[in-house]
Amino acid sequence: MGKRTDTVLLLTVLSLVIIAILQGSSFDKIKGIGQSLTNVANAIAYMGNNEKTITSNPLKYQSSPTQQPYSDTNQASFKNIALPSTSSASQTTTNLTTIFKQVENSVVQITSRTPNPNTQIIINGNPLQGQSTRLGSGFVYDKQGHIVTNNHVIDGANTADVTFVDGNTYTAKVIGKDTSGDIAVLQIIDNFSPENLVPLTIANSSSLQVGQQVIAIGNPFGLSDTMTTGIVSQMGRILPNPDTGFSIPEGIQTDAPINPGNSGGPLLNMQGQVIGINTAINSATGEFSGIGFAVPSNAVSKELPTLIKSGSFNHPWLGIAGGAITPEIAQSAGLPRNYKGVVVGSVQAGSPAEKAGLQGVSQNDFSNTRAVGDIITAIDGHSLKSIDDLINYIDLHKTIGDNVGLTVNRHGQIMNLNLMLQARPQSIGNTTQQQQLPILP
């Protein structure tokens, strides 16, 4: 009976192999057929040697240490294909947990209070004085008690309360701020133990890449010690600052959820290092809608030593308002449709741009037409594709007193202009042209 069973089993298996060969792909036929016959032989040999084990309990068979059944090998392969591995997800979760524990004692909640007079209530001829409270975030910069945050978190205040994750609150004095760059530094003035302060490492934000995972930690809506994650959505964003008329260069765009109260908190890489300060969101409701922005860590590293030493930071200034060249502007100026550069809209009085002879848009009163101004195509030999390139280059790579060379297209004539950058004013007065065009450094 056993031999008859073996014969039937052998014929059945060979029939299946022949059918599989006839129906299979013609690609690499010889190799496929040879492998199939080898597998069949192995399977038959295995079943012959382990007949009792297989027929008695087919789901719990024991394979020999030196010989694994072909069917078991295939089953394992299919499992690897069909079931996603959880090791990567587990590793990411472990990393996030580790990073959070690593940095949680370095992130603080900042509470500032500013005068807020009520003009509706007058006492003895003076408005009733009240206070406005702001909640934000910050992080430890060094063991001397310096705390970094956004300027708009403490704007108008001289002191603020700094609360750590352990619940301890200290009074800190505002010792330096950059309004246009939205960076501020505080100094803890209460008694504190330097050994308990854990400064965060500031990384190089220029090494970031789109798609890189990032972490935001802060106090959204006053919910302390909140961690969210996302990716770098884009780099080099220009963040307009309506309070000064200037722009923050090289902004980091992220989809890591940040909300009111996250301002001033760190944006971290997967090593727990600071790559930016969370500062703004793009939202019609005031709550997160998938687009957040951070001041780049390179700007923080550049400014903090000066802010701590002198209390302020002066940015280099070119002194123009301008915008990108649209295809319509390019064609009206007789240039190729996709001509690249920055068209000068207006030139500020007394600025380096004015001294160098840059010309903005001009108005022909007789014909009621406007002539395109100078078009800056390069700075120090670096081609400019947009106004963002000009802002980022001057603010991050130049200082006051540096000389720069501009390549300018003026009505079809290429010329080179040299100028020395000055310290820019605290703010720019609004004009009609300046409201229509972005303000450049």
Residue of 137, 180, 182, 374 marked active site? 182
CA atoms within 13 A on the CB side of 3: 0
Classify residue 379 as exposed, middle or buried by CB count within 10 Å of its CB (0-12, 13-18, 19+): buried
Instruction: Classify 250 as helix, strand or coil.
Output: strand
Residue of 112, 137, 233, 263 marked active site? 263
- Report which of 281, 279, 244, 286 is spatially closest to residue 265, judged by C-alpha positions: 279
Q: What is the DSSP string of 319-378?
A: -EEEEEPPHHHHHHTT--TT--SEEEEEE-TTSHHHHHT----EEETTTTEEE---EEEE
Has 152 been annotated as catalytic? yes
Has 263 been annotated as catalytic? yes
Q: What is the DSSP string of 172-218?
A: EEEEEEETTTTEEEEEE-S---GGG--PPPB--GGG--TT-EEEEEE
Has 411 been annotated as catalytic? no
DSSP 425: P
Structure tokens at 401: 């007193």
> Which residues, 6 or more positions from 277, have their beta carbon under 8 angstroms from its beta carbon?
148, 149, 150, 182, 183, 264, 265, 266, 267, 294, 295, 297, 300
CA atoms within 13 A on the CB side of 15: 6
> Which residues, 6 or more positions from 304, have their beta carbon under 8 angstroms from its beta carbon?
141, 146, 148, 183, 185
> Which residues, 6 or more positions from 118, have their beta carbon under 8 angstroms from its beta carbon?
127, 128, 129, 130
Residue of 106, 112, 137, 152 marked active site? 152
Tokens 């199939």 sit at which residue?
36
Catalytic residues: 152, 182, 263
